[in-house]
Structure 1
Amino acid sequence: MAPDSPLLKNRWLANITLLAAGALQTLTFSPYEWWWLGPISIALILACTVSLPSEKLFRAGWLAGLGLFGSGASWVYISISHYGNTSVPLSILLTAVFVAGLSLFHGLAFWGWGKLAKDSKLRRLLLFPAIWILGDWLRGWLLTGFPWLYLGTAQVDGPLAGWAPLLGVHGVTLWVIALGMALYASAGLLRLKRPGPAAAALTAGLLPWLLGPALNSVAWTQLSAAPISVATMQGNVPQLIKWDPNHLKQQIVTYLGLTNQDWQQDLILWPETAIPLTQDQAGAIFEHIETNLGPNSTLITGIPWYGFSDRIEDFTFHNSIMALGNGEGMYHKQKLVPFGEYVPLQQWLRGLIGFFDLPMSEFSRGPAHQSPLIANNLRIMPYICYEVAYPDFVAINARTTDLLVTISNDGWFGDSIGPLQHLQIARMRALETGRYMVRGTNNGLTAIIDQKGQIATSIPQFTEATLRGEAYTARGNTPYMETGSWPVLTFAAILIVFVREREIPKTNQGPA
């Protein structure tokens, strides 16, 4: 086994390295896209933790998480401070609590790592990918989840992209971790002057990276021979006036004006809550749209919905998206953003500070297993904002559909890196499903993404503009759409079962 890392000789240096290693992962994502830093980050984390006493692993994991989320997710400060009517000191405190809370997932994963592997360096190394993958999955599921900043997402632009339609983002993350482990192991073996085993370890870690480009050339789905014409409108409505009744007419006029030359397009897309009225108040707007639409044209728009829900047996609001013209269907958002679209424990938090009373923060979750929207006989699966971050949710709901659509209002996060990360996540979902995705946003980035996760065309952020382009529909499902993340999660569970340190109960060997 490799000797202890020199980093462990200085506790403060090890702690700083853990923070820096977490922050390096942020640089793998948009807008930086230095995907090659992922394995280096993992190797540094291992160098600081493989030989660490078990009781110190929780803190080590928490520090690595703090580096990641402190650098990669602290953009929530903008929505808390600028749009939540919250003072700067309190906004900083709430952002710090958010980041520290997310980092607990890493801390708990590393704590479990120590419990399962005990002090065996070999077991720790072998169990590390299982611990990381299951920790990511838990973070994306518990308490509605925060499925953001998965290492595999950055590989939409890297050599591992070809694995995404087979294994999904968690499987791609697994290969990133495998190379990080190989880097750590080979460095240790070289210190022991064992170049042969070091080369073998590095070669094994690099193998999935070498196979990835070949896999990326495989067509898992069959695209249509002819494309459909698409136009999506980016109104760039300032967030501060979004729900102001005095600016309602201005917003509708903006979107109608942006659509004036595109009523004949096959698919027209307006972003999340482009119509800031509930569907029962927007009858006149619907009539105007229906009158102008071409006979084969469908307009899909985000709009709040209000009415009686049989599922919850009460009147409620939904964040929704609907099809008009030569199409039909209404979809209610299922994955709601905590505090932005609903307030947990609202009986205690409502009214406490401005952030807990954001506009339209009383939405209810939509029912599961909703039908796709129909547009000129095409089955279109919509995802509203945050929903596109959930890999299995997107893959399962995309089965047997022709095209994916996602709408968002990333104005909550200003000119931070958050909206750029959001676009990259949407690109990974298109790659995993082998489908074109049309993305419509209020202020960017509005784009058409092809079946390989690459941007076919887009328009800049913070501009009032119309994006025109083409999208191909798809038939068939990728392997990942059929299985979801279960193969990777099952592999992680099996690894834990067979590699973990097991205590053999002592038996009385004396005479009967």
Structure 2
Amino acid sequence: MVQTWFPLLLGAALALTQPPSPLGFLAPLPLVWLLTRGGFRFGMLAGMGFWAMHLVWLPLSFVVLFETPWGAVPYLPLVLIKAAIWGVVFGLTRGRPLARAGLWVVQEYLTSLGEIAFPWGFVGYALVDAPGRLLASLGGVYLLSLVVMGVALCVYAAWQRLRKDPVVFSLPALGLFGLGLFWLGLWVMPLPSAQGSQKALLVQGNINPLRKLEGASAEETYLQLTRQGLQAHPDTTVVVWPETAVSGFSPELVALLGSRELISGLETGLTNRAVRVYGGQITHYYDKNRLVPFGENFPWAEVLRPVYRFFFRAFGFNGDLVSRTPGTGYTPLGRYGAFICYESVFPAVARRLVLNGAEVLQLGSNDAWYGPSFGGLQHFQMGRLRAVETGRWLLRAGNDGVTAIIDPYGRVTARIPQRQATYLVGAFGLLQYQTPYVRFGDWAVALAGFLGVIGLRNRAKGTIV
């Protein structure tokens, strides 16, 4: 019984250090055991504990939003699939802690690839509330994952040595003390200041997504809130509306904007689009590239069509499934690197936009699909790191939140409450420099792969770490 519950509890404990939990500073503790114990079965059970806890928002949100217990059904296979991936990594690295740490990060990266990509649950997100997240500007969230697991491995190695040589001022004891100072430093280190010279108005319409699918218009809500915001803050330079806010722009909006820019989601039916409106014209557009699997894109449609149709009926949708058309590139809307909702958990998306000239990031999202669960907060916290990785301000406009402005160091400089129809006004800046992560990309993944190979090789020679 203990052999079953122990890995389950370890996995759940690690999940409690992930966003939106404030317990990220405890992440190395469960990892000390997760990196050094067990094989496939241990990893599978640990994965079940982790993913069941980390993704519990999925059944909570779907059951409430769609008012049917069938909303909880997709949760089980997702947890089992993600847990099985952990099991494979653990099975390949039994007795090889260094290899396990390296291959763990590699599998994180692999989950961001392909049409069914679901890049959730990266260990590095434990540092999202720590000033030490600044390391993401060097190597992205994958470097943060390596740092967190590296701390856990060093704790394990020092503790093993200390058990053999329990002297207060021994090298292992001093090593543990130094490691503690390093970890503490990641949580208390000062960050540079960031000042913005531009002013943005972000509008949060709080529109029920199911009513929008039924044809309800949100235009009047967005016009009214925008009018109120501009009257109170006439020096606003750009207005930001969230994902699929409206299906068109009225002459009244054009007159209201005047010489200001508008960045907005536009519902087109076949694509999920963001546009820049200036002078009464759409000057640029960006189509969402990374579509939500089983939501905007339906993999293996011919084989799974009866399954899709069953859940469509269970969720109250009429009609047949139609996948959206993905975009074909990462082109900024002028100075604005606009990306859309689900794309905020893909580090490569924001990086490509900055490589192509974006001076500020803009994310339009519709997290109302998460319902009353913590899924929206989790999505927001993960997306904050895109600002750090790219060294750009991030203007995040959500249909029901989280609507916020994040500076290039990951600090939330302005934010409004969720699930209210309101607006946010705040300062931001335009920047042109490129962080090492933008320049060199996912080099931390290559390093993780190298460490994985070294770890496997050293085990063959009788070395544990």
Question: Normalised by the shorter chain, which TM-score bucket?
Answer: 0.7 to 0.9
How far 1:79 moved relative to its partner?
4.8
Cα gap change, 1:369 to 1:200, in 2 (>3 Å): farther
Give the match's secondary structure for 1:261: helix
- The equivalent residue for 1:415 is 372
Give the match's secondary structure for 1:240: helix
1:68 counterpart = 2:50: yes
How far 1:412 moved relative to its partner?
0.8
How far 1:499 moved relative to its partner?
3.6
Encode CA deviations 1:132-184: one digit per residue, 9 max, x unaligned: 11121122224431111212123122253231111211101111001111222
- Identity between Structure 1 and Structure 2 (%): 29
Give the match's secondary structure for 1:144: coil
Equivalent of 2:404 in 447, 455, 476: 447
Cα gap change, 1:366 to 1:499, in 2 (>3 Å): same
Mapped to 2, the partners of 1:98 and 1:168 lie a distance apart of: 26
- The equivalent residue for 2:273 is 320
Cα gap change, 1:207 to 1:131, in 2 (>3 Å): farther
How far 1:322 moved relative to its partner?
0.8
Give the RMSD, CA atoms, in angstroms.
2.7
Mapped to 2, the partners of 1:96 and 1:424 lie a distance apart of: 24
Aligned residues: 446
CA contact (8 A) 1:234 1:443 kept: yes
- The equivalent residue for 1:198 is 172
TM-score, normalising length: structure 1 = 0.80
Mapped to 2, the partners of 1:75 and 1:199 lie a distance apart of: 41
Equivalent of 1:136 in 74, 92, 108: 108
Encode CA deviations 1:6-46: one digit per residue, 9 max, x unaligned: xxxxxx32432222222222322333221112101201323
Mapped to 2, the partners of 1:336 and 1:110 lie a distance apart of: 30
CA contact (8 A) 1:24 1:37 kept: no
CA contact (8 A) 1:351 1:357 kept: no
Which residues in structure 2 correspond to 1:67-466 (within 5 Å)?
A: 67-84=49-66, 87-88=68-69, 90-114=70-94, 121=95, 124-195=96-167, 196-199=170-173, 201-202=175-176, 205-206=179-180, 209=183, 212=186, 217=191, 227-245=197-215, 247-248=216-217, 251-263=218-230, 264=234, 265-275=236-246, 277=247, 282=248, 285-295=249-259, 297-306=260-269, 317-326=270-279, 328-347=283-302, 348-349=304-305, 350-354=308-312, 362-374=322-334, 379-399=335-355, 400-466=357-423
Q: Which has the larger radius of gyration?
A: 1
Unaligned runs of 5+ in 2: 461-465
Mapped to 2, the partners of 1:274 and 1:45 lie a distance apart of: 43
Mapped to 2, the partners of 1:240 and 1:456 lie a distance apart of: 31
Give the match's secondary structure for 1:351: helix
Mapped to 2, the partners of 1:61 and 1:382 lie a distance apart of: 38
How far 1:200 moved relative to its partner?
5.2
Cα gap change, 1:437 to 1:479, in 2 (>3 Å): same
Mapped to 1, the partners of 2:200 and 2:189 lie a distance apart of: 29
Q: Greater RCO between the two (CA within 8 Å, min separation 6)? A: 2
Cα gap change, 1:331 to 1:163, in 2 (>3 Å): same
Encode CA deviations 1:431-465: one digit per residue, 9 max, x unaligned: 11111100000111100111111111110011111
Encode CA deviations 1:217-240: one digit per residue, 9 max, x unaligned: 469xxx7x7611111111111233
Matched letter for residue 72 of structure 2: I
Unaligned runs of 5+ in 1: 1-11, 115-120, 307-316, 505-512
CA contact (8 A) 1:438 1:449 kept: yes
TM-score, normalising length: structure 2 = 0.88
Give the match's secondary structure for 1:160: helix
